[in-house]
Structure 1
Amino acid sequence: MPRNATIPAVQNQWTELTDGDVSTQVMFQNKGGYSVHFQATADANAPTSLGGAVEYQPGQGERDTLANVFPGVSGAVRLWVFAQVGGSVAIQHG
């Protein structure tokens, strides 16, 4: 299902940003005032650690496929954010 929203990044837990499996281009951006970590998964299960996650500073983001942004995640279809302080993230996908 398509999504175009700003999602709160819950402090110290993984928050799913995608609304179902996504194989098309996504846009995501850290809208908060602190750094956050993004990670893709190949299924609906949240990551279990920050291993392999990419840190983004305030204002940073991407517009590409999950496979291109996270080449180490085979079959990447879901996007997650982890914020140690909290914040918000913009997400858009078809």
Structure 2
Amino acid sequence: MFFGEPSGDGKRGPYAYTKLWNQAKKKAGLDDFRFHELRHEAVSRLVEAGLSDQEVAAISGHKSMQMLRRYTHLRAEDLVSKLDRIHIQ
């Protein structure tokens, strides 16, 4: 996913993003934050945007719905808002 430009031997090596990632975390005040947590956030926001489980799994690469659900963290305020829109008679 993070491969740089080819070097002199024509091979593409991975970017060394650790230093930049740590600088960005420090600047944002997120010292205890891992890059992997962005996947959780992305999956949750895609579900909230209305994409189906199958669509989100295709984007995120999850092979099972069980693992996809483990990564999905819905915001309580969004769920409450949806419930408020339901008119039960």
The TM tier, using the shorter chain, reads under 0.3
Q: Identify which of structures 1 and 2 has the higher relative contact order when contacts are C-alpha pairs closer than 8 Å and 6+ apart.
A: 1
As a proportion of its length, which structure holds more helix? 2
Q: Which TM-score applies when normalising by structure 2?
A: 0.26
